[in-house]
């Protein structure tokens, strides 16, 4: 097909992601250009996402570009993509996943255990808040918004003793040396879709959807489908402190771990897991729904 236009946010990480997909498509003989855009999520930095409309603020302008024909595809961090896309849009593929773990970044302290009592840790993720509180209830957890470079600058200016970021973003930008420790998923359970890139297109672009199939990583697409089904079933959004992470087991089954916590700290952290064969998206989704049912049975709401 003729030139493929990728709609992308203009942060350094978003541009890396779009350029990564651009290179993959160019390797397959396609002409590809980028359409850089600023989204509402990039503009509103003084409020938490849960109070201003959620992570969908990062994708709405890109979807408008797709709808109007100014762009053909949009590349997203999958964890930023709402669980239910607007009518007329689909995820065409999920690429091979980068490291899904959370990472501790600090100029002074080498681990979470080394942080002194009352240390200030930055994150605006309710999921990270409840998981950090379960590990270190003595810490002072403060909001942290902005793109990755802005967050690192605020840390380096001394506004925080440590911050928690997605390891994937740091690695993609060549900043892995900033990682003091990447948390074991059993300690800090990742968000649904963390570390994965998804490509969104209009549902009527069947030729384009077929073209993008070659970029997809089937195992990671099924794993993230299970994770997103947990969140969808729970009504997950930025206002829900929910974690979900799926991993393939040696025998070929898919195991999913999920966690829910009360942001007010009035209820204990709830963690569950489930395991099943998942040969397609329907089976992966059913596994995610089972994990959500187990969370509700254990007291999540």
Q: Could you identify the residue written with the tokens 């160019």?
A: 26
Predicted confidence at residue 119, as pLDDT, reads 98
State the pTM of this model.
Answer: 0.91
Tokens of 248: 């393939």
Predicted confidence at residue 145, as pLDDT, reads 86
Predicted confidence at residue 76, as pLDDT, reads 94
The Cβ-side half-sphere exposure at 93, using a 13 Å CA radius, reads: 17
- Catalytic residue of the set 46, 72, 80, 257: 80
Predicted confidence at residue 267, as pLDDT, reads 81
| Residue 199: strand pairing partners | 75, 93
Predicted confidence at residue 250, as pLDDT, reads 92
Predicted confidence at residue 237, as pLDDT, reads 65
Residue 80 among the catalytic residues: yes
Predicted confidence at residue 49, as pLDDT, reads 45
CB 291 within 8 A of CB 258: yes
Predicted confidence at residue 55, as pLDDT, reads 52
- State the virtual CA torsion across 74, 226, 229, 86 in degrees, nearest 10: 20
CA distance 88 to 158: 46
Q: Please list the ranges in the chain whose pLDDT falls under 50.
A: 41, 43-54
Predicted confidence at residue 47, as pLDDT, reads 47
């Amino acid at each position: 097909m003729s030139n493929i236009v990728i709609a992308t946010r203009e942060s350094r990480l978003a541009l890396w992601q779009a350029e990564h997909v651009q290179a993959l498509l160019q390797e397959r003989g396609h002409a590809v250009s980028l359409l850089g855009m600023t989204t509402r999520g990039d503009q509103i930095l003084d409020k938490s996402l849960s109070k201003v409309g959620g992570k969908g603020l990062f994708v709405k302008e890109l979807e408008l570009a797709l709808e109007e024909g100014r762009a053909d595809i949009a590349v997203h961090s999958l964890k930023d993509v709402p669980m239910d896309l607007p009518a007329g849009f689909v995820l065409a593929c999920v690429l091979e996943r980068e490291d899904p773990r959370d990472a501790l970044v600090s100029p002074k302290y080498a681990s979470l255990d080394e942080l002194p009592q009352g240390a200030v840790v930055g994150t605006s993720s309710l999921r990270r808040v409840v998981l950090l509180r379960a590990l270190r209830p003595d810490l002072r957890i403060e909001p942290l918004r902005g793109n990755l470079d802005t967050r690192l600058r605020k840390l380096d200016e001394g506004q925080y003793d440590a911050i928690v970021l997605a390891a994937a973003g740091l690695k993609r930008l060549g900043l892995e040396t900033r990682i003091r420790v990447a948390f074991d998923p059993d300690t800090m359970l990742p968000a649904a879709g963390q570390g994965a890139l998804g490509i969104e297109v209009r549902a009527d672009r069947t030729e384009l959807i077929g073209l993008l199939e070659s970029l997809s990583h089937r195992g990671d697409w099924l794993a993230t489908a299970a994770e997103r089904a947990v969140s969808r079933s729970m009504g997950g959004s930025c206002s829900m402190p929910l974690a979900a992470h799926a991993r393939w087991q040696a025998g070929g089954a898919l195991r999913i771990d999920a966690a829910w916590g009360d942001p007010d700290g009035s209820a204990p952290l709830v963690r569950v897991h489930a395991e099943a064969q998942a040969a397609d998206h329907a089976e992966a989704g059913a596994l995610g729904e089972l994990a959500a049912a187990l969370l509700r049975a254990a007291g999540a709401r």
